[in-house]
Amino acid sequence: MSKNTIFTGAGVAIVTPMNADGSVNYEKYRELIDWQIENGTDSIITCGTTGESSTLSAEEHIAVMKAAVEQTAGRVPVIAGTGSNDTAFGVELSVEARELGVDALLLVTPYYNKASQRGLITHFNTIADEAKLPVILYSVPSRTGVNIQPATVAELYKNPYIVAIKEASGDISQVAKIASVCDIDIYSGNDDQIVPILSLGGKGVISVLSNVCPKETHAICELYRNGNVKDSAALQLKYLDLCNALFCDVNPIPVKEALNMMGWNVGECRLPLCSMDEAGRATLRTALEKHQLV
């Protein structure tokens, strides 16, 4: 089955900046999008985990997606996180996203409900069929409690709208199994596994690291695609400490803190995510200083 690839390279799972009163800072959001595109980012992924989708109201979710589409203005694809643990709400958000003009959807595995694999198939197919947009499945069992099994991915890939998966299970063996059972496009969901997943035929990464290092994350993918595997791997390893520092607390707490240290003033995360402790902040600053980002 031949399907169009949504993007290749490094897509940024972009943060949602907040004002001091906790409201969304749309002006800063638009600035971040421009900076990302100017520095080589291949796609904008809005309202994902890193964008704090779980604490955006429905109205905010739609407004943030709208701002992303408007500001990107067709320069790179916009992928909207519209997944939910409520299938009906997932359909509603996804249809709204289509009407706003997004290029594709990122649908996270339903969280808390702990759907069966059969339930996952029905859930994802229902949203894809109603939204009628290219879909990237998002498997992140550490956050949702549910893993999308390779056989389930292969079954879902039969749907003409389901074209890719963001694999954040951390299990390279599982990624290999997915690649062996169907031709679905695979994106790394972990910044420390970009090169390993590219080596299995992956198309790129949906990245947290890109928030602070867009050029470098793009380069890891670009070098690999151009056949320069050695330099791609070297760049991956060079930034491994920063990848780790960006996950020394719950995402997106560290990446927002990093952007604040870099002078972006993106604000705090919304509760229940709280600010980092001093030890974590020191670890993060050390990594940023090492890479001359602060």
Distances (CA, A) of 126 to 81, 130, 272: 16, 6, 31
User: What is the band of 19 on the pLDDT scale with cuts at 50, 70, 90?
Assistant: very high
Neighbour-count burial for 207-239, b at 16+ CB within 10 Å, e otherwise:
bbbbbbbbebbbbbbbbbeeeeeeebbebbeeb
For residue range 85-139, list pLDDT tens digits in order. 999 999 999 999 999 999 999 999 999 999 999 999 999 999 999 999 999 999 9
The predicted structure's pLDDT at residue 198: 98
Catalytic residues: 138, 166
The predicted structure's pLDDT at residue 194: 98
For residue range 28-49, list pLDDT tens digits in order. 999 999 999 999 999 999 999 9
Q: Is the pLDDT of residue 1 over 60?
A: no
Rounded mean pLDDT, 4-29: 98
Least confident span in 65-74, 140-149, 199-208, 280-289 = 140-149
**CATH classification code of 9-225:** 3.20.20.70
Separation of CA 70 from chain center: 19
User: What is the band of 142 on the pLDDT scale with cuts at 50, 70, 90?
Assistant: confident
User: What is the band of 2 on the pLDDT scale with cuts at 50, 70, 90?
Assistant: low
Domain boundaries in the chain? 9-225
